[in-house]
Each structure stands twice: as structure tokens, then as C-alpha cells.
Amino acid sequence: MKISIFGLGYVGAVSAGCLATDGHQVFGLDPNETKVDLINKGRTPIIEKDIGEMIASAVKNGKLRATTDVREAVMNSDISLICVGTPSQLNGNLDLSYVRRVCEEIGLVLKEKSAFHVVAGRSTMLPGSMRNVVIPTLEACSGKKAGVDFGVCNNPEFLREGTAVYDYYNPPKTVIGESDQRAGDMLVELYKNMDAPLIRTDIETAEMVKYTDNTWHALKVAFANEIGNICKAVGIDGHKVMEVFCQDTKLNLSSYYMKPGFAFGGSCLPKDVRALNYKGKSLDLDLPVLNAIMSSNQLQIEKAIAMIVNKNKHKIGILGFAFKAETDDLRESPIVNVIEYLIGKGYELKLYDKNVNLAALTGANRDYILNRIPHISKLMVGDVREVMDFAETIVIGNGSEEFKPIPANLKTGQVVVDLVRIVKDMSGEQYDGICW
């Protein structure tokens, strides 16, 4: 394919060298004539393992040429990759002025180009940037319609400095957010030989994936450092602890726990987080990440309360109030916090959980209900239909299988607040999910 790459910085130069090595005809564009001259002499404008040799070979073979002529590059290419910088502003927001300028230049050429052309954003941009900046600018300057007359994609890169060429050919995934299938199909051609999962999705999801990845990586570093600081203070080798931690790929390094939803609870997580935070304080350690966990969890409880209250309905039914499905454990169940708030504000409630049966409970759970939350036990009913007949707002508090039919079988006037995503792809005026 023929590709024009706007911006010959780190991402652009690596992409240009790799794509040209793969046999594509690549035009590299940059307003910096020094970068353009370097590439045309077969030299790399950046320091990165292997890329110098790749650029030299591609230029020699005629597969890579740099230019400042936007019209020549766009008219003679099928896809334009935007790889310009998106630096931080003082307030932390992104400066999209370079992106906007490039889109203006591309749009003016698209105005006179009859062939279908795809513009793909490789630059890291916040969700909404493609929809609110890239697409309107291209449409205004070209007089054409995105998804009809030309295609737009978001194609985030996952390159690490120092291993960028390896990462290009061995990505963890290839993500393409597309305005239309035709545009996505053209971009897929660039990566058809990649041995990596190919994910085609909407533009905004693709934009957000890159930020989610990078923020998660940053959080992992901060988390490991804080654990290491505690270890150091008590005479433990933090590397040994984290080596054991990282061997667990069933829970620790896995997708488990990584689905947005309601707050965590139960007899272990809250207790152990508080204990570790206390230990840190006793050691005079500043642990902002670990100390923020419980307050973040509390905010999710408050969000659920606000969702319920904002429905402006007085009769509330709670389905599932053990801290997770298939357990009878109410200790530190976050839904209990929600119930107690609603009781205190005078709402009428009925509660159902097949696993929380007062007559059958023994030990700590029975003691917890009778001594800590006796007022809640009086609101428990033994049949889900009793809750459905009573409630105006139905809150799904855990993922018990028996609650799956609920959102599709609401009566007129009823609404459901789903804290667990009991079924996928639900929407409509009667349905509200906490993170979806």
C-alpha cells in the first residue's frame, strides 16, 4: 500500500521504517527540513535500536522518501497516519494544535482527491479528540463527509522507547477504531501479517484503550514502589515479594477483578487494605496509592446511592445483598451501606437474596445480621417476585444467575440500577448501569 506519515518524531520515524521494510511505499512528512533531509540521506532522526539500518535500507530501495509537500504525499497515498506530537498544556490537557494543523492540510488535499482515502490517528489523543477535532477539521477543509467520502480511524501505538522496533512487530494487540468498515478494512491490510489479536471497535474506545494501558502501567509502578517501601521499612526484600506476587497469573496478573462495576467488600479486602495502610502510617511512610484505595471504594458506593436517589422513586427493591453472588457473607458488603443509607432517608425497601436466609445462617454471618444490622433483617423477603411486585426502582446488587431475566421483564414505570452488569448490551430509559 501507499502510506503518508505526518510527523517524523519517535512514533512516525519508527512507523515509517517498519512499514517501508514491510514493502509499503511510504512518504514521510515533517515541517522540520532537517528531519526530512536526514531521512532522504538514509539516516534516522531518532535514536532507537535497529531503526537506523531499516531507514537506510528503505531509502536505498526507494520504499521510503521524506518530503514537506503535503499535496504530493496525500495524492499519492491510500492512508495518512497522523503521528505528530500531542504535548501537555500547563493544566494537564493535551495540546492538539499540531493535530489540527495537519488535519487542515490533509483536508485541503482531500477536497480535490477523488479516490477514497483513510486518515488514521496514531498520536495519543483523549477520547473525543477524533470526533471533536480531527473529523470536523477534515470535513470543514475538504467539504466531504467522514465515513462516506473518506475514512477515519484511530490506531493507537504500543511502542516502548528502546524496544520500539520489536514492539512494532510483536504488539500485545492491534486496535483499530473505525468510522466505517471500508476504512477499517484498509487499515487491517497494514497489519495482516502481525501475530497479535486484532481488535476492531469504535473510535472512542480505541482512544480510551491507550490511556487505560498507560495509566495502568503507571499505577503498577507506583503500587510496586509503595509495596517495596513497606518491605524496606520492615526488613523484607521487596523484589522477592513482587516476584512471588507476579507468579500468580490466575488472580494477580490476569483479567480477574478488572471489570468496572460496584465497590469491593467482604471479610478480606477492606480489612487487609486498612491494616496495610495502618502499618504504613506506623512506619511514617507516605503511601498515596495504597491510602487512596478505601476512599476510592467509598466513592463508588456513593455513586450507586446517587444513581438510586436520582430515579426519584420511593419504593426500592434490592436483589442480592451479600457482597458477591453465591455467598451468604454480609460482612462489609457495600450494598449494605447503600441499604442503610436508604433506610435512613425514609425509603421503603424490600430485600431478596436466596443465600441470605436468617433461619439457615449460623456463626459469624448470623451474629452480624442480628447484632449489627437487625433493622435490615426485617426487610428481607423470600421470593424475588415479591420484590418485583413492590419496587419502583430495582437494584441488582450481585451477579446471581437468577437476576439475569430482570432487566428485560420490567413493568411500566419500573427502572433497574445494575451494579454488576447482570447482562451485556442492555440500554434504554428503564436501565442504568453503574459504569456502562
Task: Tell me the C-alpha distance between 129 and 202, whole Å.
Answer: 13
Pairing assessment for the beta strands 415-418 and 393-396 based on DSSP bridges: parallel
pTM for this one? Answer: 0.89
Q: Quick one: pLDDT at residue 362?
A: 61
Task: Tell me the C-alpha distance between 171 and 234, whole Å.
Answer: 39
Task: Tell me the C-alpha distance between 326 and 266, whole Å.
Answer: 13
For residue 334, the one-letter residue type is: P
Q: How far is CA 286 from CA 28, 69, 279, 281, 297, in A?
A: 47, 54, 11, 7, 20
Q: Quick one: pLDDT at residue 360?
A: 55
**Could you check whether 2-201 and 298-433 share the same CATH topology?**
yes
Candidate list 103, 141, 153, 268, residue with the active-site label: 268
- What superfamily would CATH give domain 2-201? NAD(P)-binding Rossmann-like Domain (3.40.50.720)
- What superfamily would CATH give domain 298-433? NAD(P)-binding Rossmann-like Domain (3.40.50.720)
The residues pairing with 151 across neighbouring beta strands, listed in sequence order, are 118
Q: Quick one: pLDDT at residue 358?
A: 55
Q: Label residue 23 left, alpha or beta by phi (over 0 means left) and psi (-120 to 50 means alpha).
A: left
Task: Tell me the C-alpha distance between 207 and 176, whole Å.
Answer: 9
Which residues does the chain have with pLDDT short of 50? Answer: 359
Q: Quick one: pLDDT at residue 374?
A: 81
Task: Tell me the C-alpha distance between 399 and 382, whole Å.
Answer: 18
Task: Tell me the C-alpha distance between 324 and 398, whole Å.
Answer: 5
Task: Tell me the C-alpha distance between 129 and 84, whole Å.
Answer: 14
Pairing assessment for the beta strands 151-154 and 174-178 based on DSSP bridges: antiparallel
Rounded-to-5 percentages of helix, strand, coil across the chain: 45, 15, 40
Write out pLDDT tens, residues 268-320.
999 999 999 999 999 999 999 999 999 999 999 999 999 999 999 999 999 99
In contact, 304 and 262? CB cutoff 8 Å: yes
- Closest residue by Cα to residue 394 from 376, 372, 360, 420: 420
The sign of the dihedral angle between the CA atoms of 30, 35, 37, 42 is negative
- Closest residue by Cα to residue 111 from 138, 147, 134: 138
Q: How far is CA 197 from CA 14, 178, 194, 207, in A?
A: 21, 16, 8, 17
For the chain, give every domain's residue range. Answer: 2-201, 298-433
Q: Quick one: pLDDT at residue 178?
A: 97
Active site (annotated) includes residue 246: no
Pairing assessment for the beta strands 315-319 and 348-352 based on DSSP bridges: parallel
Task: Tell me the C-alpha distance between 256 and 266, whole Å.
Answer: 16
